[in-house]
Structure 1
Amino acid sequence: MNKPLKKSLLIFLLGAIVLSGFFAFKTKNDKLFAIAKNIDIFATMVRELDSYYVDEIDPDELVTIGINAMLEELDPYTTYIPEEESADFRVMTTGEYGGVGALIGNRGEGNIIVMPYTGFPAQSAGLKIADELLKVDTVSVVDKPTSDVSSLLKGPANTEVFVQVKRGDDTLGFNLTRRKIVIKNVPFYGKVDDRTGYIKLSEFTTNASNEVRNALLDLKGQGIERLILDLRDNPGGLVNEAAEIVNLFIPKGKDIVKTIGKLENVNYTYKTTKTPVDKEIPLVVLINENSASASEIVAGALQDYDRAVLIGRKSFGKGLVQTTIPLSYNSQMKITTAKYYIPSGRCIQAIDYTKSRESGELTSVPDSLRKEFKTKNGRVVLDGAGIEPDEMVVQVKYAPISYSLVARSHIFNFATEYARSHKEIADPSTFSISDADYESFKKWLDGKEYDYKTYVEKSVEDLTKYAENETYFDEIQSQIEAIKAKVHHNKEQDLITYQDEIRKILSEEIVSRYYFQEGMIEASLNGDPAVKEALTFLSVPDKFQQTLTASRK
């Protein structure tokens, strides 16, 4: 190339670089100007509303509504946290707070103790499930919202609080000393048979991995040879805890999950950094549609390394990473900054919120556009829709009568009365109400409202509604009425037809009165279809290994 041409080319390239920098600078400046302009308009508008609007306004409330409306245009995980909600947010991420250690709720007849946590002040002092809260210190809480009652019960550790409750016909008072409450990530673990251990992981707050590690070591000390890790209904949490849990079963130096976003400082690869506790023990992980985020990282990574068989139903599909950013006046914003990618390279996010904003509807990745990836052993897995299990388990569908009995608190209230007249019961793994107890329950229901519509009745109602708009309705009306008469349910007969599922629900509720949350989980494992399927896989080594090595699409 001759010198004049080379010089001209160099001048052109330098000019192009300068111009691109100029346009990038201009574009950035235009965006900054647009932000500043609109913030100024917003602030001016609030000031003028406060001055001129005919009625008094609450600027805090108005601005908060504006902020939340703006964030709703993005995704459901980008949220504003005002100063007054910071404490609740801290509890969500750490699992720690100062209080008495009880879950409270409202069953339609006031605020009650729903579940006292084992070993904390409420349970140690003798507060029981279904105790109705009357006073906290000198404040009557009979008509207060549950959130207000919860705030009154919380406070710094080692401070005193007086609680007055109604139990049956008695009014009782309890002087409690608040403590630092640490909500367990592992509310229960144990053996489901002589050789199989079970760990229920319900959260991924601080210390989750240590709780799983300690449970695993304890179970190994009890001689287990295989393990079920239950992540069903676990909404996720801290990603570093998820990585540490995977590390319990995967060798050191392996990729667990990558976070990839717009800014370089959010791009990060989480790796296993420790020697695993057990990299050989046969492992089944249970997931369902409510297993999200960190749960999906654990399940997906173990699937990608062919380290565990996944059983249950497709997971939620939350592959978005949030970062908490401090704002002025002690407020915060939790903002989506990246996406999760597990070892095979697939992203677990199911909903495309950018396209959802454009269409106005939640938009999933179509099956035709989902990409194929491979596990360590070459099994085909897909992105774009959460984590799919290796073995599907159909969701249990309860009869309408069961829903009605639970929704109207009849199961809850009978369990409370049962506990008051029975000093003790068998352990959670074996307890089941007797035939005589079930007959007592049926008699107890006499005169109580628990009406409901069966699936068939609802279908006939829909049929009638649509048929009324047809010209031939008069011709078929008598036939529809005959169908209605035939399918009209008999509540007393349903108590017999569906007694197995009603007895199971009732037994679990009764167990909670004696063994609290831990016992309720243990009791629920009896007849659990996913646990049953897990035991089938674990008891047949060839089937277990074949699942981890066979190609699948």
Structure 2
Amino acid sequence: MQKLTNKRIITGLLILVISALTFSFVIKNDRLFTIAKNLDIFAALIRELDSYYVDEIDVEELVTIGINAMLEELDPYTEFIPEENSDDFRLLTTGEYGGVGALIGNRTGVNMILMPYKGFPAQAGGLRVGDAILQVDTVNVISKSTADISRLLKGPANTEVFVKVKRGDDTLGVTLTRRKIVISNVPYYGKLDDKTGYIKLSDFTTNAAADVRNALIDLKSQGIERLVLDVRDNPGGILKEAVEIVNLFIPKGREVVRTVGKMQNANSVYKTTKSPLDKDIPLVVLINERSASAAEIVAGALQDYDRAVLVGRKTFGKGLVQTTVPLSFNSQIKVTTAKYYIPSGRCIQAIDYSKKDENGNSNSIPDSLRNEFTTKNGRIVRDGAGIEPDKMIESRTFAPITFSLVARNLVFDYGNKFFLKNEEIAAPSKFEIDDAMYADFVAWLEDKEYDYTTFLERSIEDLERYAKRERAYDKIQDEIEQLKTKINHSKEQDLMTFKDEIKSAIREEIVSRYFYQEGVVESSLRWDEDVKLALEILNSPQQLSTLLTARTK
């Protein structure tokens, strides 16, 4: 009787397993059939359009548009990379390319050098910020896009390229030898005071961890005892580099991040694998709304282990992992395959792309659906909206006049004018725009157009529009006109009222001509409110300890 019962149980289990496998097989085949059917429809549609459409069509362009439209329904990080864009994609992910080492762009309709990278062919060959690009090899590029010019400048290392530029009233030609360009992830590091080091980490391309490690070793050899790590405006990059940077400050064997996706091979746990370079140095990490992805992993992991105080503003909130998959004909797709979770267990993804509203837009995760987690010391942290700092600093806003002067490239043009007349300036940490230089700038502006609308003037315009809509304008017209008269801006007055912030913009523009990207960073540190707060915290061990300790209820 017992044997009969066991046989029935085994038979029942076999039936269940076979049924499950059959069901799974049917579902899988249904999905494969659906995919095959729709691919066949798409291919037939393209064939018929090519045959019957009244005008000639570019089949490749049309298919690419269709692919991109399809991917737009998912998230902004899943993208198709055709063969012709593979070099640009490699630059974004590795920071390496063959070329002359210069950032180019279009200002006021002119293609020009915006920043030559120090030590590379463009800078070594004498090209400067503001040089208008006229010709590359035998190609006239005056009317070409910056993307086209960039492609012409790039090429295999050790090959030559001729570049003709216009500088002021002069036309210059220079032959440059292309090199393998590897852009450093650390454009600047130095000392904020005798005991405090500072490292600016701008990217997470190949060697980011090595760049930070080398900077920290050098700073420690100079006697620093505290550190500020700046990942503001860092868009992220390679996950492995983020893990290794955390490992500089966290002991071996600690989890830094885990990825969880639909496919088994997307699920991974990343732990520190080495002894830390310094697990005790007091540390502040600077973050802002443009710190994303790998930058958020570094900041979030150090916060979860109570290893650093975060200063600044809430980060971007990108908790999605992308994997590059090769396709036919050397094309690729960068596809979101997983979400990442930092040591406390939280995912900081701020937008739910799986749900759309009636207009087809994705929305931020509401506060009511955000969950609480705790750091190593028991501090409460939350998921679903980026990494929130331990000490918040409000975002800096600029006066409309400053915005207008920068947006209309007048500060940029004045930087070029100054550079042509002055061979050298003081070091970035000491260079100032004195009152005489500012008076020269104001005088130079006299025949330039830079009108703007102030915040108050815009508010009055809104009031006037709403009053007319509500049919109340006739009652308050006199008061509105009086307000307009009182707040009507004066450029001359605004140039004095906002002199300090305009001076700051001019200073950084001029410093960039002589000391490039690292000079701009160094010059800005003296007036940086985030840096000032970081120094205050690091100089107060009690405040640092309090910020890293759980609050008692």
TM value normalised by structure 1: 0.98
Once the 2 structures are TM-superposed, how far is the Cα of residue 71 of structure 1 from its aligned partner? 0.5
1:293 touches 1:317 (CA, 8 Å); kept in 2?
yes
- Measured in 1, the distance between the counterparts of 2:539 and 2:103 equals 38
SS at match of 1:65: helix
Write the letter of the residue equivalent to 1:309: V
- Answering whether residue 116 of structure 2 is matched by residue 116 of structure 1, we say yes
2:165 touches 2:171 (CA, 8 Å); kept in 1?
yes
Q: Could you tell me the percent identity over the aligned residues? A: 65
- Measured in 2, the distance between the counterparts of 1:131 and 1:420 equals 11
Once the 2 structures are TM-superposed, how far is the Cα of residue 5 of structure 1 from its aligned partner? 4.9
Write the letter of the residue equivalent to 2:209: S
CA deviation string 1:1-53 (max 9, x = no partner): 85555544443332222222211111110010000000000000000000000
- Measured in 2, the distance between the counterparts of 1:504 and 1:552 equals 43
1:300-379 equivalences under 5 Å are 300-356=300-356, 360-379=360-379
- Measured in 2, the distance between the counterparts of 1:380 and 1:327 equals 44
Write the letter of the residue equivalent to 1:111: N
CA deviation string 1:103-151 (max 9, x = no partner): 0011024111000000001101111100111111111111111111111
* Aligned counterpart, 1:440: 440
2:108 touches 2:409 (CA, 8 Å); kept in 1?
no
Between 1:505-514 and 1:415-424, the stretch displaced more is 415-424
- Measured in 2, the distance between the counterparts of 1:226 and 1:357 equals 47
- Measured in 2, the distance between the counterparts of 1:404 and 1:201 equals 29
* Aligned counterpart, 1:534: 534
Write the letter of the residue equivalent to 2:440: S
* Aligned counterpart, 2:23: 23
- Measured in 2, the distance between the counterparts of 1:88 and 1:298 equals 26
SS at match of 2:364: coil
* Aligned counterpart, 2:404: 404
1:170-319 equivalences under 5 Å are 170-319=170-319
CA deviation string 1:431-481 (max 9, x = no partner): 111100000110000010000000111111111111112233212122212
Structure 1's 552 and 396: CA in aligned 2 closer, same or farther, altered over 3 A? farther
- Answering whether residue 512 of structure 2 is matched by residue 520 of structure 1, we say no
Once the 2 structures are TM-superposed, how far is the Cα of residue 362 of structure 1 from its aligned partner? 2.3
1:379 touches 1:552 (CA, 8 Å); kept in 2?
no
2:287 touches 2:313 (CA, 8 Å); kept in 1?
yes
* Aligned counterpart, 2:391: 391
1:438 touches 1:503 (CA, 8 Å); kept in 2?
yes
1:408 touches 1:450 (CA, 8 Å); kept in 2?
yes
SS at match of 2:176: strand
CA deviation string 1:365-402 (max 9, x = no partner): 22122111111111111111111110001111100000
1:374-523 equivalences under 5 Å are 374-523=374-523
Between 1:359-368 and 1:17-26, the stretch displaced more is 359-368
- Answering whether residue 134 of structure 2 is matched by residue 134 of structure 1, we say yes
- Measured in 2, the distance between the counterparts of 1:471 and 1:144 equals 52
1:318 touches 1:349 (CA, 8 Å); kept in 2?
yes
SS at match of 1:446: helix
Matched positions, count:
553
- Measured in 2, the distance between the counterparts of 1:104 and 1:263 equals 41
- Measured in 1, the distance between the counterparts of 2:445 and 2:125 equals 32
* Aligned counterpart, 2:94: 94
RMSD of the alignment, in Å?
1.3
* Aligned counterpart, 1:76: 76
CA deviation string 1:235-274 (max 9, x = no partner): 0000000000000011111111001111111111111111
Write the letter of the residue equivalent to 1:318: K
Structure 1's 315 and 241: CA in aligned 2 closer, same or farther, altered over 3 A? same
1:380 touches 1:552 (CA, 8 Å); kept in 2?
no
- Measured in 1, the distance between the counterparts of 2:309 and 2:528 equals 17
SS at match of 1:51: helix
- Measured in 2, the distance between the counterparts of 1:345 and 1:475 equals 59
Structure 1's 552 and 451: CA in aligned 2 closer, same or farther, altered over 3 A? farther
- Measured in 1, the distance between the counterparts of 2:357 and 2:295 equals 27
Structure 1's 101 and 262: CA in aligned 2 closer, same or farther, altered over 3 A? same
Write the letter of the residue equivalent to 1:56: E
Write the letter of the residue equivalent to 1:277: L
Write the letter of the residue equivalent to 1:430: K
- Measured in 2, the distance between the counterparts of 1:502 and 1:257 equals 42
Write the letter of the residue equivalent to 1:147: A
- Measured in 1, the distance between the counterparts of 2:342 and 2:9 equals 45
2:196 touches 2:228 (CA, 8 Å); kept in 1?
yes
- Measured in 2, the distance between the counterparts of 1:533 and 1:109 equals 40
* Aligned counterpart, 1:85: 85
2:92 touches 2:205 (CA, 8 Å); kept in 1?
yes
Write the letter of the residue equivalent to 2:337: T
1:73 touches 1:357 (CA, 8 Å); kept in 2?
no
Once the 2 structures are TM-superposed, how far is the Cα of residue 356 of structure 1 from its aligned partner? 2.9
Structure 1's 552 and 83: CA in aligned 2 closer, same or farther, altered over 3 A? farther
Point out where structure 2 has 5 or more consecutive residues left out of the alignment: none
- Measured in 2, the distance between the counterparts of 1:520 and 1:332 equals 36
- Measured in 2, the distance between the counterparts of 1:552 and 1:347 equals 25
Structure 1's 269 and 357: CA in aligned 2 closer, same or farther, altered over 3 A? farther
- Measured in 2, the distance between the counterparts of 1:219 and 1:132 equals 39
Point out where structure 1 has 5 or more consecutive residues left out of the alignment: none
